[in-house]
Structure 1
Amino acid sequence: MKKIIISGVLGRMGQVLQRAIQNDPGLVIVAGIDAHPEKALPGQIDFPLYQSATELATEFADTADVVIDFSHHSVVPELLNVCVEKNLPVVVATTGLDEDTKGMLAVAAQVIPVFVSANMSLGINVLLKALQAISPALEPDFNIEIIEKHHNQKKDAPSGTALLLADGINDSLTKPKTYVYGRHGLELSNPLDEMGIHAVRGGTIPGEHTVLYAGPDEIIELTHTALSRDIFANGALKAALFLAKQPPGLYAMADLLDAKETN
């Protein structure tokens, strides 16, 4: 039985994660963290709920195998400090992390296992591997553009996943491209050394990402569509089970996919 702590347990993804864990007899939630515990409905949770990671560190007497974080970027530094203090492996699925927090991830990974990904979908990360395989051959002649679509409640733009894909493509190129966030103006040249990243927000779209390669007289499009948030919860749980077996270090979806290929 793997014991899990959820950070951001009352948020959209936290609730999806709760349901996924409750449907797996090999998993149990032993505690939750949420900045707004007053949002919990009567009978909604059957585990201790804490308002912050610091409060959990002070009051939580049980043990856990791993923490899964779907919270807000502002609380991740505090969570990392507590995980290091309590020697808890942590899966960070929260997006919008600033450079200081990203630096903290690397420091924490010297002490505990840390798994971080801007998107927990296995499909997105397989798509990323495909993009890295084809982009070098298309680099000399094709414009590359990314279009991402999300629901109208999403706060950050572009999405963390769009940046994950863009960074992954750039890592595979001879000369990384300059990001252009949307395009406007009357005298645009749209050179090959730019990569346009475009954000659409509306309705209840769970998430759609298209990478478009436009060359002379031909177009290639690769699209991933999230039909529900369950895919992110399932990916996070796979990451948590993988991470619980690892030594201290910084891990990503590529490590999980590589482990699946060797098993």
Structure 2
Amino acid sequence: MKIFLSGITGSMGHVIMDTVKENTLSEDKVVAGFAGRNTEIDGIKVYGYLDDVAEDFDVIIDFSNKFCTSDVVSFALKKKKPLVIATTGMDDEVVDFIKEASDKIPIVFSQNMSMGVNALDIILDKLSKMLDDFDIEIIEKHHNQKVDSPSGTAKMLFNTISKNREVYPVYDRTPFHEKRKKEEVGISVIRGGTITGEHSVIFAGEDEVLEIKHSAGSKKIFAKGAIKAAHFLKDKEKGLYNMQDVLGVK
């Protein structure tokens, strides 16, 4: 499979290229990429302008940033190629554009490419129904270079909860001088050091607490998930898919 990698010069771009190289049993290959300037990485052409791309490819993986996503989606539409979007923190208008584009091309769009996180999300869907009297809190931790807050994964987890309960998010209780409301889901954000990513969901009931947690040991888990999603899209019809589709849960 020939991959066009948007965000190729970023940290996740390097991880994806390393992951592809390490899997010697696969025929996957990054054939070109997109970044903020024209350059070259390990013999791979990197374009500063998507209109200049000359290489043929099978699928696009986007690990760039939220300001580039619309351009990458437009590029995928122009080329009529499948698209994996792993970028987070984008505005609602961009999300709407992604949904519109999926009427013409197949797209996997997920706030987290980790297979473990998506398994946690499936469990969360069940628990938020079963433990309907429990208070729920979300805690997310990331490295000190992460820009968006809260994480896209934390938002994904909250959205799963909100499908089963009438709740609203609370991001900061510092100025509050009142008791917690039942409809609240607190989302706490920690930024520090080189934490790759940790997400915990706490269910607090009367005299008992249940916590489910996922810890990322390295960014390689996101690369593996994105590559798996790319293979999933190869023969798919137009439509909007997520990682649960990729894992065969739906």
CA shift, 1:46, in A, is: 1.4
- 2:4 is matched with which residue? 5
Distance in 1 (CA, whole Å) between partners of 2:176 and 2:61 is 46
Amino acid at match of 1:8: G
Question: CA deviation digits over 1:74-128, x for unaligned, max 9?
Answer: 1111111111011111100000111111111111111111110000000000000
Distance in 1 (CA, whole Å) between partners of 2:49 and 2:110 is 22
TM-score by length of 1: 0.91
- 2:77 is matched with which residue? 84
User: Which of 39, 44, 68 is the aligned partner of 1:75?
Assistant: 68
Q: Say what the alpha-carbon RMSD is for the aligned residues.
A: 1.4
- 1:150 is matched with which residue? 142
Pair 1:219–1:16, CA change in 2 (3 A) = same
CA shift, 1:176, in A, is: 2.3
Query: For the Cα contact (< 8 Å) 1:121–1:231, is it kept in 2?
Result: yes
Distance in 2 (CA, whole Å) between partners of 1:124 and 1:52 is 33
Q: Does 1:27 align with 2:54?
A: no
Distance in 2 (CA, whole Å) between partners of 1:135 and 1:221 is 12
Between Structure 1 and Structure 2, how many residues are aligned? 248
TM-score by length of 2: 0.95
Pair 1:153–1:36, CA change in 2 (3 A) = farther
Q: Does 1:240 align with 2:239?
A: no
Distance in 1 (CA, whole Å) between partners of 2:178 and 2:190 is 21
Distance in 2 (CA, whole Å) between partners of 1:92 and 1:122 is 15
> After TM superposition, what 4+ stretches of structure 1 lie above 3 angstroms from structure 2?
none
Pair 1:181–1:36, CA change in 2 (3 A) = farther
Query: Where does structure 1 lack aligned partners over 5 or more consecutive residues?
Result: none
Query: What pairs with 1:108-127 in structure 2 (closer than 5 Å)?
Result: 108-127=101-120
Query: Where does structure 2 lack aligned partners over 5 or more consecutive residues?
Result: none
Q: Which of the pair is proportionally richer in helix? A: 1
Amino acid at match of 2:232: F
Question: CA deviation digits over 1:182-223, x for unaligned, max 9?
Answer: 211351221110000010000000000000011111100000
